[in-house]
Structure 1
Amino acid sequence: MAKGNGRQIAQNRKARHDYTILETIEAGVSLKGTEIKAIRNGRINLKDGFVRFRNGEAYLFNVHISPYDQGNLFNHDPLRSRKLLMHKKQISKLHEQSQNKGMTVIPLKVYLKNGYAKVLVGLAKGKREYDKRETLKRKDQERQIQRALKDY
């Protein structure tokens, strides 16, 4: 289990609501010129992002990185696919596990670590509607318990 321990830039909040996260892995991202500057400015959206595997490599799709304001001619396509930098064993393990029914790999967080942009990707299983309601009820009950304990 990898933990993100850098300056957090963006988080996919909807992911934990729609999916049960089974495993997480830290991955680097192959970026072009002005993309890292846009990420440092917090101009990234992970909401609809997902990971696909091609030819033994992992790619990040549907993650929107807004063009850098001062980038002019050298700006990039905001929705282009970006290669994830992971070990071959990690890629093959994730790919194998994501082949199971109802499993997918999604980005959870983007953060800076030692000057490099890192993505925390998670192996996720989709929740059904009643699972989502049950999770919300459990969180509400835990909040009420914490309030009650705080009063004593």
Structure 2
Amino acid sequence: PWPKMVSGGPRVGMVYSDAWIDWNRRHGERRGELTEALKGMRAIDDRFKATGREGLPEAYLLRFSPEGNGRAVLANGNPDTADHTAVFVPGTTSHLGSVGGDVKRMTDLWRATAEFPGTGSVSTVTWLGYDAPQDIVKDSPFSHYANDGAPAF
């Protein structure tokens, strides 16, 4: 039931069948969730591809799930063997689709630590391991988000 591309002279458009409209009405929200999950997966894959560039260490995917707001726990360097570990827990409005910016923050932090010789090995971890509050006004005042996520952390 996928839409078909049609061309009528200089104009190009999409023709939606009744089956597509019905499917989109029933599954449009899930399609949006999967689109966001794919965006997050691409950001994680980009970090893996960056290993070795500019001295970046190996990346370790410690947890992943597209369910809910998504889960991704990604480390720069091995957290099991590092002398020092920093963990960033994204907060309100974070979700798998926006994890690329969070991964970049922790990659930048790892790079900054590499500038200081003699500090030992470092691992920086992006921990998107819970469903963070999505609305700063109606969700963030409540502690249950943190309380529910604490055992996983």
Fold match by TM threshold 0.5: no
The structure with more radius of gyration: 2
Comparing both structures, which one devotes a greater share of its residues to strand? Answer: 1
Which structure: greater helix fraction?
A: 2
TM-score interval for Structure 1 and Structure 2 normalised by the shorter chain = under 0.3
TM-score where L is the length of structure 2: 0.24
Q: Higher relative CO (CA 8 A, sep ≥ 6), structure 1 or 2?
A: 1
